[in-house]
């Protein structure tokens, strides 16, 4: 712990932390959490927690790249591509903010040392992915997420005002009269797990999606929708939590655990999907939900648990330079993608819904913000456009930091309330997590039925959406 934080920490007789009093607490250390921290004032004390270790973040897993507005002529097509992929359920204001902010974000990242691919003349090199009308995606090999996240993490670790606690899990928030004053955490790295409280003027949820709730997912298993569960318990507004994206292409495996993603950019460079007869059956550059649906239908026709992805149209040099990580992983699984097709299957990948936030990432509870996959600012609508996730997280993390900074003097802390939180109610941790999972899935099913009812009403009952409310 940094010296500047020591006086804010209370310990028991065994030197175990019981309570931390800070200015801002950030739950999560992916790109959303890290970029929030980097854009907050250096005179504010910040505590960041992460459920596992620092590299067990989905931000590290992003392969394809990050979108950017190439020039003003690209605005209309980028906007339309995002809206079309989202089935026009996107918040237009949020989409506009994301696109208009993209170049500034890229400049920030380059300033932090992020190395994007460049051509022989030193110009940024763009690639294309599914549902994009033109190449507008920056990348670093096939590990863009790792490149960005590792560079941001290195910058945060240099800051004397930031303390990062690993293996520390949020189990609750402390609130009163719809104002958040901090969080309750479970620390698991010591021999004996224990609970601590962290009081703060502002709390930021950057704790990721819900992949850990599913048997087959590209996400880390510890990402279990904690922000959703706490929102349900504390009456914080949620939005579109039944909008769950299935990625069309993950490497088929019968092994348990996280599924390995075969990036959208592989298809953007020319890879094609084949049925069991070796026949192409879909336009691979359609939106993800459309391609995933086509794969499921083909699997049923073929009576097979997968389809094949062929990279025969991509030259070996491009494969080795653009997709070295995918090449190596597939080789370890027994497939040489330069010589043969690979079995692929759709898997849960991304969460378009989440905690409802405004354009400054503020939730319906005062002094509580949400960024990244935990939040829903409406950018993605009903289906995310490829490579918009990293950009969206960064844009709205920076806006959250600015909003926190501008209103910090008006925010209130209540360390006594947080410290006095009834810790005994968190006994039976495993049972509590089961309850959270059950409550999340019940709410997802409820929301799904509401959307289905709404759509049916539009199609069959009334010409006016207002009649369906």
Residues 198 and 311 in one domain: no
- pLDDT at position 466 is 33
* pLDDT tens for each residue of the chain, 469 residues long: 343 443 467 666 555 668 999 999 999 999 999 999 999 999 999 999 999 999 999 999 888 899 999 999 999 999 999 999 999 999 999 999 999 999 999 999 999 999 999 999 999 999 998 889 999 999 999 999 999 999 999 999 999 999 999 999 999 999 999 999 999 999 986 556 788 999 999 999 999 999 999 877 999 999 999 999 999 999 999 999 999 998 999 999 988 888 999 998 999 999 999 999 999 999 999 988 899 999 999 999 999 999 999 999 999 999 999 999 999 999 999 999 999 999 999 999 999 999 999 999 999 999 999 999 999 999 999 999 999 999 999 999 999 999 999 999 999 999 999 988 856 677 777 888 899 999 999 999 999 998 887 766 655 544 433 333 2
Is residue 460 included in any domain, yes or no? no
Q: Alpha-carbon distance 94 to 85, whole Å?
A: 15
Q: Alpha-carbon distance 409 to 397, whole Å?
A: 20
* DSSP H stretches of helix in 313-462: 316-322, 324-332, 389-407, 415-419, 429-456
Is residue 453 included in any domain, yes or no? no
End-to-end Cα distance, the chain = 51
Residues 202 and 88 in one domain: yes
CATH of the domain at 328: 3.90.700.10
Residue 152 DSSP code: H
Residues 76 and 213 in one domain: yes
CATH of the domain at 400: 3.50.50.60
Residues 312 and 283 in one domain: yes
- Residue 421 is encoded by which pair of tokens? 């939180």
Residues 258 and 231 in one domain: no
Alpha carbon of 464 to those of 83, 90, 122, 334: distances in Å? 21, 19, 53, 55
Q: Alpha-carbon distance 398 to 223, whole Å?
A: 23
Residue 217 DSSP code: B
- Residue 375 is encoded by which pair of tokens? 């939040």
Residues 196 and 58 in one domain: yes
Residues 125 and 210 in one domain: yes
Q: Alpha-carbon distance 432 to 436, whole Å?
A: 6
Q: Of 301, 329, 347, which closes a domain?
A: 347
- Residue 334 is encoded by which pair of tokens? 């027994």
- Residue 218 is encoded by which pair of tokens? 């590209």
Long-range contacts formed by 336-341: CB under 8 A, 24+ apart: 337/311, 338/311, 341/274, 341/308, 341/309, 341/310, 341/311, 341/312
Task: Provide the domain limits for residue 311.
Answer: 252-347
Is the dihedral angle over the CA atoms 277, 278, 279, 283 positive or is it negative?
Answer: positive
Q: Alpha-carbon distance 434 to 77, whole Å?
A: 44
Residues 120 and 225 in one domain: yes
Q: Alpha-carbon distance 63 to 142, whole Å?
A: 5
- pLDDT at position 12 is 60
Residues designated as active site? 288
Backbone dihedral angles phi then psi of residue 169, each to the nearest 5 degrees: -115, 130
Residue 212 DSSP code: G
Is residue 282 included in any domain, yes or no? yes
Given the structure tokens 């049972």, which residue do they identify?
431
Is residue 112 included in any domain, yes or no? yes
Q: Alpha-carbon distance 38 to 35, whole Å?
A: 5
Q: What is the pTM of this model?
A: 0.88
Q: Alpha-carbon distance 461 to 469, whole Å?
A: 13
Q: Alpha-carbon distance 394 to 436, whole Å?
A: 28
Is residue 463 included in any domain, yes or no? no
Is residue 260 included in any domain, yes or no? yes
Q: Of 330, 347, 364, which closes a domain?
A: 347
CB-CB neighbours of 439 under 10 Å: 15
The C-alpha angle 274, 275, 280, rounded to 5 degrees, equals 45
Residues 49 and 149 in one domain: yes
Q: Of 325, 347, 369, which closes a domain?
A: 347
Residues 33 and 159 in one domain: yes
* DSSP H stretches of helix in 303-388: 316-322, 324-332
Residues 85 and 222 in one domain: yes
With b for 16 or more beta-carbon neighbours within 10 A and e for fewer, the 16-48 pattern comes to ebebbbbbbbbbbbbbbbbbbbbbbeeebbbbb
Is residue 457 included in any domain, yes or no? no
In total, how many domains does the chain have?
A: 2
Is residue 139 included in any domain, yes or no? yes
Three-class SS of residue 50? coil
Residues 277 and 357 in one domain: no
């Amino acid at each position: 712990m940094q010296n500047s934080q020591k006086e804010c920490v209370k310990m028991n007789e065994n030197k175990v932390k019981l309570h931390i009093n800070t200015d801002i607490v950030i739950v999560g250390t992916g790109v959303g959490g890290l970029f929030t921290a980097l854009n907050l004032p250096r005179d504010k004390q910040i505590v960041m927690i992460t459920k596992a270790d620092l590299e067990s973040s989905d931000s590290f897993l992003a392969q394809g790249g990050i979108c950017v507005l190439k020039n003003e002529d690209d605005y209309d097509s980028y906007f339309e591509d995002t809206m079309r992929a989202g089935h026009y359920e996107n918040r237009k204001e949020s989409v506009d903010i994301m696109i208009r902010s993209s170049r500034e974000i890229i400049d920030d990242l380059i300033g932090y040392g992020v190395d994007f691919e460049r051509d022989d003349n030193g110009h940024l090199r763009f690639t294309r992915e599914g549902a994009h009308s033109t190449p507008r995606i920056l990348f670093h090999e096939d590990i863009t997420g790792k490149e960005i996240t590792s560079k941001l993490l290195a910058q945060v670790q240099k800051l004397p005002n930031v303390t990062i606690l690993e293996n520390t899990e949020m189990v609750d928030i402390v609130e009163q009269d719809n104002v958040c004053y901090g969080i309750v955490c479970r620390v698991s790295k010591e021999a004996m797990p224990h609970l601590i409280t962290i009081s703060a003027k502002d709390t930021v949820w950057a704790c990721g999606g819900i992949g850990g709730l599913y048997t087959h997912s590209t996400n880390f298993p510890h990402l279990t929708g904690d922000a959703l569960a706490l929102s349900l318990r504390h009456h914080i507004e949620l939005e579109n939590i039944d909008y769950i994206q299935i990625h069309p292409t993950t490497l088929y495996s019968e092994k348990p655990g996280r599924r390995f993603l075969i990036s959208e950019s592989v298809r953007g460079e020319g890879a094609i999907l084949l049925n069991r007869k070796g026949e192409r059956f879909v336009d691979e550059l359609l939106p993800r939900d459309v391609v995933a649906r086509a794969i499921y239908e083909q699997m049923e026709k073929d009576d097979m648990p997968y389809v094949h992805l062929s990279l025969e149209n991509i030259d070996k040099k491009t494969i080795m330079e653009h997709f070295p990580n995918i090449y190596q992983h597939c080789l370890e699984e027994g497939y040489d993608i330069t010589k043969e097709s690979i079995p692929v299957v759709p898997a849960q990948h991304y969460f378009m819904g989440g905690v409802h936030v405004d354009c400054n990432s503020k939730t319906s509870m005062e002094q509580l913000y949400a960024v990244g996959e935990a939040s829903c600012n409406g950018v993605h609508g009903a289906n995310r456009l490829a490579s918009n996730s990293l950009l969206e997280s960064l844009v709205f993390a920076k806006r959250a930091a600015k909003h926190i900074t501008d209103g910090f003097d008006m925010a209130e802390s209540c360390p006594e309330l947080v410290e006095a939180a009834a810790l005994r109610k968190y006994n039976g941790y495993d049972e509590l997590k089961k309850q959270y999972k059950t409550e999340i899935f019940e709410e997802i099913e409820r929301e799904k039925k509401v959307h289905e009812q709404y759509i049916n009403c539009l199609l069959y009952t009334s010409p006016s959406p207002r009649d369906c409310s």
